[in-house]
Each structure stands twice: as structure tokens, then as C-alpha cells.
Amino acid sequence: MKKTVKYEVDLANLPALSASQQTELKTLAAMPDSDIDCTDIPPLSDDFWKTATKNPFYKPIKQATTVRVDSDVLLWLKGQGKGYQTRINAILREAMMQSIHQKAQ
């Protein structure tokens, strides 16, 4: 059985860098991008980018608004259970993303 070890870092009280660590950081900062070895990074295919998603932890800011919706549509949304406003947003977001992807092609 593996044991999980957790460490907490107090960012306000980090230990000072050693002289060799400071030298290494200065050397890396001065290194041009062309000297960085990227050969261990596999190339990404077009298929990867078709299914890639932006940061899954991104949470857009909500904005209150008033929208007129046909009564039968609202009844259907509310009939799906709690969270009809979230469903409206998901439906609109999906339509927006499809439109963006179609324009990009």
C-alpha cells in the first residue's frame, strides 16, 4: 500500500536560494530559446487540436440579464428539473462553440 505524503509550503517564508541555485537560474534566464532542446516533446497532430479544450478549470464570469423566451420552451427547460438557467447557458454555449468552430474552418 502506497502512502500519500503531503507538503505545505509557506510562500511568505521560503528558504533562500543557494549560490549554485541562483547561478543556475541566471544561466537559464540568459539562455536563448533556440538553445532549448525540445526533441523530447512529441508533435501534435491536427486531430489533437480538433478535440483539444481550453483550461477545464476556467470559470467565466456570470452576468445577470433578462431574456424573453417562448413559454413552451421555458416550460420544457423547467420540466427537466432544477437548474434550468444553467441548461439555457449550456445550450447557448454549445451553439456559440459550434459557430466559432464552423467559422474557423
Report the pLDDT value the prediction gives residue 65, as an integer from 0 to 100: 93
Average pLDDT across each block of 10 residues of the chain; the chain has 105 residues. List them in order.
Answer: 86 92 96 93 90 83 93 96 94 94 83
pLDDT for the residue 40? 94
Distances (CA, A) of 60 to 11, 14, 55: 28, 33, 11
DSSP H helices, the chain, are 19-30, 46-51, 71-79, 84-104
What is the pLDDT, as a whole number, of residue 20? 97
pTM of the model: 0.45
25 neighbors 17 (Cβ within 8 angstroms): yes
The predicted pLDDT at position 24 comes to: 96
Distance of CA 16 to the CA centre of its chain: 32
